[in-house]
Amino acid sequence: MVQLKNVGKKIKLKRVELGLTLEQVAKKVGVTANYISLIERGKNTPNADIIDKLSKLYTIDRDELYEHYGKIPATVAEQIEQSETLKKAISNIGKDERLTDEDRENLYERLLYWHQKAIEEKE
């Protein structure tokens, strides 16, 4: 389960570190100061657009912020959107009733292995 209060504290610390007020952040992000306050207090989960804007404003890794909020990282979603093969592979693995959760995890680990091998071959 996502710890919204912990993420909110990190967001607030970054704002304070940059010397920004709630109002300044709200204006730059396009929401109200109350909305930013709710995010900082762990009472609200920002949508993808707000996460993107906050990550840019605070120079926080966008994928890391997505993960903190329990969301699929933006780069992962973008890669899935761009590749019909990847979309089909993930769909097939996810709905294949013959596979256990352990089998699925093993397949994903193999993907990481082959990625590393491909990188090593390029170097």
If you write DSSP's letter for every residue of 45-113 in order, what string do you get?
---HHHHHHHHHHHT--HHHHHHHTT---HHHHHHHHH-HHHHHHHHHHHH-TT--HHHHHHHHHHHHH
Provide the CATH number for the domain around residue 71: 1.10.260.40
> How many beta carbons lie within 10 A of that of residue 39, not counting itself?
25
Number of domains composing the chain = 2
| Same domain, yes or no: 92 and 64 | no
| Same domain, yes or no: 101 and 55 | no
pLDDT per position as a tens digit, 52-94: 999 999 999 999 999 888 898 888 888 999 999 999 999 999 9
pLDDT per position as a tens digit, 41-51: 999 999 999 99
| Same domain, yes or no: 52 and 106 | no
Range of the domain at 118: 83-122
| Same domain, yes or no: 72 and 88 | no
- Decide: 53 and 47 in contact? Cβ < 8 Å: no
